[in-house]
Amino acid sequence: MTPPLYLVDELPAGGSGELAGPEGRHAVTVRRTRVGERLLLGDGRGGLATAEVTGVGRDALRLSIVDRRRVAAPCPTVTLAQALVKGERGELAVELATEAGVDAVLPWRAARCVARWDDGPRGDKALARWRSTVLAAAKQSRRAWLPEVSEQVGTQALAARCAAAGAAGGGALVLHEAATVPIAAAVRELAAPLTAPTTAPRAAELVLVVGPEGGITDEELEQLCAAGARAVRLGPQVLRASTAAAVALGALGVLTERWNAYTE
């Protein structure tokens, strides 16, 4: 079984180290880690280290570093612009997307969103739930890169992000049930750097836009496409707003080099 992953600010510089703080307490009190067991340390920025437990304290572990490696960022990196979804389905959307390999999450305040993140404590709490969900999913799926969850944006800011991605050699795809272009055809038509392997962090960016339960309005679709985004169809079925991103990420893993492993 793959060793559990614990995220730390910095990997130990030498041959030994300590896992303390919340992660150390979790390892000791919840997972009941014992001497001789192995675990993974990750910095959330591509660095991983395999460590063996040499000592167990009250809420910390003493570790011997077995090996180190660096996992390159996928190319293209995928930023999910996920429309706000009501209740637990929003957290499910970002959880599944994280497990499927998304690199960043941009909460989108679309016109037909039932969920609303008000300014102030309520909105901050909702954003914190998404970030906590992404953190847990990244650890569960042994992610070397921790996806960033940004502040919510409106359609104008999302359109600007789509335009910037295209100008930098990437692109933007809007999942839409009325689109006639298959996602595979759209990916093939994007610039060559989008599908080339790389060891450079955060290379070409692909913005993947998923609308709310009520769908994307004609005005929103027009604004995003005017910024360079392409409306695409994922398949013959109409998926839920909470599952569409994960399915699309699976397709992108096959259509690009994202699922090929590159280490330094």
In this structure, are 140 and 221 located in the same domain? Answer: yes
Using the 3D structure, point to which of 43, 70, 97 is the last residue of a domain: 70
The 3-state secondary structure of 6-64 reads: EECCCCCCCCEEEECHHHHHHHHHHCCCCCCCEEEEECCECEEEEEEEEEECCCCEEEE
More confident residue, 176 or 196: 176
- 263 inside domain: no
Count: domains in the chain: 2
Q: What pLDDT is recorded for position 262?
A: 54
CATH code for the domain of 180: 3.40.1280.10
For the chain, give the mean pLDDT.
90
Report whether 161 contacts 81 (CB < 8 A): yes
Quick: pLDDT tens for 97-129. 999 999 999 999 999 998 888 878 888 999 999
Distance, CA of 138 to CA of 149 (rounded, Å): 12
Q: What pLDDT is recorded for position 191?
A: 54
For residue 96, give its domain range.
Answer: 77-255
Q: What pLDDT is recorded for position 211?
A: 95
Using the 3D structure, point to which of 51, 70, 89 is the last residue of a domain: 70
What global pTM score does this model have? 0.89
Distance, CA of 125 to CA of 19 (rounded, Å): 28
- Half-sphere exposure in the Cβ direction for 103 (13 Å, CA): 22
Distance, CA of 160 to CA of 156 (rounded, Å): 6
Name the pairing type of β-strands 171-175 and 148-149: unpaired
Using the 3D structure, point to which of 44, 70, 96 is the last residue of a domain: 70
